[in-house]
Amino acid sequence: MLAPKRAKHRKQFRGKMRGKSIRGSVLSFGEFGLKAMEAGWVSSRQIEAARRALTHSIRRGGRVWIRIFPDKPITKKPPETRMGSGKGDVAEYVCVVRPGRMLFEMSGVSRDAAHEAMRLAGVKLPVQAKFVARSEAV
């Protein structure tokens, strides 16, 4: 699973997810992509599940790029713990995704195969996403 090797601060505030994604919103590497349509947190487990769905669907053909990385620590308090006594321990890492963010890219496969693979990967994610192609994006 993806996680940062080291971080400046161990725990972070939750933050806001306002606005659209400015960086990482265009196809940079592949011919086809999966673009987020809404804001949300995508965990490292969900990214891995989507990646597995992509690679399984295209059967070792083509190339896949993961355009997001989970670098935000999410803390959880243990069950049946009373309120207070500080912030909980880091439980997982998530990536903050805003509308317009390119999540995955792919090349080296046909359009139909890429569309089906991206659909299967999109089902694994907690945000609505749409399939985009380089020919349409230009």
- pLDDT tens figures, 107-121: 999 999 999 999 999
pLDDT at 135 over 90: no
Residue 51 CA to residue 96 CA, distance in Å, equals 17
Task: Say what the pLDDT of residue 136 is.
Answer: 64
Q: Domains of the chain (ranges plus CATH)?
A: 32-76+88-137 (3.90.1170.10)
Residues 130, 27 contacting (CB under 8 angstroms): no
Q: For Cα atoms 106, 4, 131, give the angle at the middle one, nearest 5 degrees.
A: 20
- pLDDT tens figures, 65-87: 999 999 999 999 999 999 999 99
Task: Say what the pLDDT of residue 46 is.
Answer: 97
Residues 94, 70 contacting (CB under 8 angstroms): yes
pTM metric for this prediction: 0.92
Task: Say what the pLDDT of residue 33 is.
Answer: 97
What whole-number percentage of the chain has pLDDT above 90? 93
Q: How many CB atoms lie within 10 A of CB 72?
A: 18
Residue range 2-25: mean pLDDT, rounded:
94
The 3-class secondary structure across 51-113, one letter per residue, is: HHHHHHHHCCCCEEEECCCCCEEEEECCCCCCCCCCCCEEEEEEEEECCCCEEEEEECCCHHH
